[in-house]
Amino acid sequence: MKFINQESGRSMIEMLGVLAIMGVITVGAITMISAAMRSQKRTALQDEVAQLVTGVRTILGEYDDFSNLDNATIFAAVGMSDKNPYGGKYSLMVNPSNTRQFILTIDGLSSSDCKYFQAKAWSDSVGFAMSGGRTGGAVAMPNDCGGASGQNAVQITYGE
C-alpha cells in the first residue's frame, strides 16, 4: 500500500506575496487620504477667509476706513474663532500705510501650504487687483515660505 502525501494550505511565499500586495494597497490608500485631508483643510481655510473678509466689510462698511478694526469684536460678530484649520491663527490689522485697507494674516502654515496660499488667486485682494491678476495677492512670511513647518504665514491685503 502506497501512501500519497497531499499537503493543503498556503506556502510561506504565497503569504509573503499577499502581504506585499496588501502593503502596496495600504500605502496608496494612505497617500490618497493624506491628499484628501490636505485638500479639505485648504478648502476650509478659503471658506473661512471669505466669511471673515465679508464680515469685516459688512461690519465696518459704514466707515470711511478700517481704523476701528478690532480682532475680538470682528471674530465675535462674525461668529467664528481666530483659529485656522492648520492650528495657527487668523489676525486682522489696519494697513499702517493706508487706513482704507486691512491686512489678514494666516499663520501656522507648512512650507508647501504657505507656497500654495501665496500663489492662490485671492481675486478680491489689493495685491491681485494691482497686479492685473498676474500675482495671487498674498505675501509670504518669513523668508518666502522658508520657515519650519507651522512657522510660515501669508498676509493678504483687502480694501481700496
pTM for this predicted structure:
0.80
pLDDT of residue 68: 82
42-79 burial code (b ≥16 CB/10 A, e <16)? beebeebbeebbebbeebbeeeebbeebeeeebbeebe
Summarised one tens digit per residue, pLDDT across range 97-135 is 999 999 999 999 999 999 999 999 998 899 999 999 888
Chain centre distance of CA 18:
38
pLDDT of residue 41: 94
Extract the residue ranges of the chain whose pLDDT is less than 70.
1-9
Report the side by side order of strands in the sheet with 90-94: 90-94, 101-109, 152-159, 138-141
C-alpha grid cell for residue 158?
Answer: 483687502
Provide the pairing of β-strand 90-94 with 138-141. unpaired
Question: Rounded to whole angstroms, how far apart are CA atoms 76 and 124?
Answer: 23
Cell of 147: 520657515
Q: Return the pLDDT at 128.
A: 92
Contact at 8 Å (CB) between 111 and 152? yes
Give me the pLDDT at residue 63, please.
80
